[in-house]
Amino acid sequence: MNIILLGYGKMGKIIGEIAESRGHQILLKIDENNRELLDSIDPKPIDVAIEFSQPEAAVSNISWCLNHGIPVVSGTTGWLDQKPQMDQLAEEKQTGFFYASNFSIGVNVFFKVNEYLAKLMNEVSGYEVSIEEIHHTAKKDAPSGTAITLAEGIIKNQQAFTAWHLSDQASENGQSIPISSKRIDPAPGTHIIRYQSEIDDIEISHTAHSRQGFALGAVLVAEWLPGKKGVLTMNDFLSF
């Protein structure tokens, strides 16, 4: 399979190594220093693009892929206010667009555990919920995309919440979940959900030991995506 990498930072390099170890060819590695190469390459040999860039580059990268009929796997966070436009473009072009806040199989199991716990907590009272996420200092956006997905999972399954907010910011009402974002090297990513009461605490967590799980998941999705159309998610991939 012929792959282009849009974003060649730490994650992009690991993705490239894993893809090549699985027999794929990396045709092009794009970063902020050579973005102009996209305007001159022939898109026909490209089977799929994997996009792990920066928030400010994500929309232009994804748009380029979809407008050229190239399926694209994106894991860039911090730009999701513009995702509806990319979803619409993918549907118009009938080209596969796969976005996930986290490609780790373990994290996606954790998402489901979080939703199930949120449903159970609808039946009890006296608990306050919070989310904590810890990442390396090079991560620019806060909270993490994974933390936002976890908050959305709680909101979807609990009647008490309608929004989330960073814990160092004031909440507009009592129906918002506080998210604490910490940046500590070399943490690849830790996410903790806490339900706290005067009587006891309930806590679930996921800790990544390296970026390998994220990168492998992205490559597995890239292998699966060609030939599929429209907007797809990890639920489609994993058939949860």
- Percentage of the chain lying above the pLDDT 90 cut: 83
Check whether 103 is labelled as a binding-site residue: yes
- Confidence grade of residue 240 (pLDDT, cut at 50, 70, 90): low
Domain boundaries defined on the chain: 2-103+212-238, 105-207
Mean pLDDT, residues 37-50 = 94
Cα distances from 233 to residues 54, 73, 100, 107, 177, in angstroms, run: 20, 10, 6, 14, 24
Please tell me whether 191 is known to bind a ligand.
no
Residue 13 labelled as part of a binding site = no
Least confident of 63-72, 166-175, 187-196: 166-175
Neighbours of 157 (CB within 10 A): 17
> Which tens digit of pLDDT belongs to each residue from 178-228?
999 999 999 889 999 999 999 999 999 999 998 899 999 999 999 999 999
The listed CATH number (3.30.360.10, 3.30.420.10, 3.40.50.620, 3.40.50.11610) that belongs to domain 105-207: 3.30.360.10
* 84 pLDDT higher than 90: yes
Known binder of ligand: residue 100? yes
pLDDT of 78: 86
**In terms of DSSP bridges, do strands 201-207 and 190-196 run parallel, antiparallel, or are they unpaired?**
antiparallel
The CATH homologous superfamily for domain 2-103+212-238 is: NAD(P)-binding Rossmann-like Domain (3.40.50.720)
Could you list the active site residues?
Answer: 135, 139
